Structure 1
């Protein structure tokens, strides 16, 4: 089990005792996934939150014309999931797959709820994550509605500086809402 990165992320927000850390680790499952392997597909119910140890995941939807719209990338140290599916046990409206071979930790919704009771500091940790994700989502929505494509690309570069060289251009184009051809034009 490789929980160190997660425990480090938690420690940036809350201080856990050794026993609390052991409890958190005991509830995690480790999984290795190959590039392009799905963790979640549309209409499935998400059972686990995914924390990336290494590699990169992405979440996306596919419109009626078969066009992918990437919502999020999750490099090492990030969480990813369909919150509506996970928390409300509703069929997902998105896909989550691996952009590259990845190692992840899984935390079930039931175990997360158990942690809220057993280690109240974990409820604070996840609340802070949710607030941060909501702020990021709002910023991205405003950018997509009001910024030209070149500025959306620059914002992407700031948000995901470690991924800019490793991601396929078509994924970056999908994330900022342009075609790969147009991305090539604006990036020179």
Structure 2
């Protein structure tokens, strides 16, 4: 176990502890006889997945490849799992702030969840490199039947046009 881990404890509260904190304040806490202790993820502890849309849809533009792996609905946010691969000979750029979700006529922008510590999608990607990450948005209703993912990317090769990457994800 590490500092900051989320844990799931199964046990019985047997007593009450009363003490004093460093400032002289009274602290009252339960005393538990733990039968089991398990380290769990942020998702399991704070933001359980209500529903998942698995897509794996890929768009390849001149070797600039973007894949929407899945979308997860949760109470505090909606999670977009994305993989970007640079199969070109030039550096490419893909910024998470350029990703928009569109659902029922409303556009949603990235809302970073600093508590989650999800893997970040790298923004400047060298040739031959692949990066995966999670981008969070406001919580969408898990009954949503269609989401469009709009994303933009750029290549240092200005002789090719990179159109917006547009994915239509449906149930």
Q: Which TM-score tier does this pair reach, normalised by the shorter chain? A: under 0.3
Q: Which has the higher helix share?
A: 1
Give the TM-score normalised by the residue count of structure 1: 0.25
Give the TM-score normalised by the residue count of structure 2: 0.27
Q: Which structure has the larger Rg over C-alpha atoms?
A: 2
Which structure carries more relative contact order (alpha carbon 8 Å, separation 6+)? 1
Q: Which has the higher strand share?
A: 2
